[in-house]
Amino acid sequence: MNKQPARFVKKNSRRDLDIVISEQNGVRLLHLGGNMTQSAMRINAPNELELLYTQCMMSFLLFNPSPAQVVMIGLGGGSLAKFVYHRILQTKTIVIENNQHVIDAATHFFELPANNDRFQVVLADGAQFVEDDALNVDILMVDGFDDGQQIAALCSQSFYDRAYEALGSEGILVVNLLSRDKRVHTYLQRIGESFHGRVVAMLSEPQGNLIVFAFKRSPGKVAWKSLRSRATILAEQYHLPFPDFVSKLRKYTESHGLYLEI
Q: Is the pLDDT of residue 119 over 90?
A: yes
Q: Across the strands, what pairs with 146?
A: 149
Query: Do residues 105 and 76 touch, judged by C-beta distance below 8 A?
Result: no
pLDDT at 9: 42
pLDDT at 14: 41
- Rounded Cα distance between 76 and 196, Å, is 30
Burial class (CB in 10 A: 0-12, 13-18, 19+), 208: middle
Q: Is the pLDDT of residue 191 over 80?
A: yes
pLDDT at 13: 36
**What domains can be seen in the chain, in order of their start residue?**
47-255 (3.40.50.150)
**Catalytic residue check, 117:** no
pLDDT at 36: 74
How confident is residue 11, by pLDDT bands cut at 50, 70 and 90?
very low
**Tens digit of each residue's pLDDT (9 = 90 or more) over 194-218:** 999 999 999 999 889 999 999 999 9
- Helices (H) and strands (E) in the chain — how many of each? 8, 13
Tell me which residue of 199, 32, 198 sits closest to 102, measured CA to CA. Answer: 32
> Structure pTM?
0.92
Q: Is the pLDDT of residue 10 over 70?
A: no
Q: How far is CA 45 from the centre of its chain?
A: 19
The region, left, alpha or beta by phi > 0 then psi within -120 to 50, assigned to residue 255 is alpha
pLDDT at 106: 96
Tell me which residue of 40, 24, 29, 39 sits closest to 7, measured CA to CA. Answer: 29
Percentage above 70 pLDDT, the chain: 90
How confident is residue 132, by pLDDT bands cut at 50, 70 and 90?
confident
- Rounded Cα distance between 94 and 69, Å, is 8
- Rounded Cα distance between 26 and 50, Å, is 11
How confident is residue 222, by pLDDT bands cut at 50, 70 and 90?
confident
Q: Is the pLDDT of residue 49 over 50?
A: yes
pLDDT at 199: 95
Active-site residue identified among 18, 143, 146, 181: 143
Identity of residue 71: V
- Rounded Cα distance between 84 and 18, Å, is 28
Query: Do residues 237 and 244 touch, judged by C-beta distance below 8 A?
Result: no
Q: Please give the average per-residue pLDDT across 225-238, as a whole number.
A: 96
How confident is residue 61, by pLDDT bands cut at 50, 70 and 90?
very high
Tell me which residue of 201, 196, 162, 167 sits closest to 185, measured CA to CA. Answer: 201
Residues with Cβ within 8 Å of 128's Cβ and at least 6 positions away in sequence, in order, are none
**Tens digit of each residue's pLDDT (9 = 90 or more) over 74-103:** 999 999 999 999 999 999 999 999 999 999
- Rounded Cα distance between 213 and 197, Å, is 11
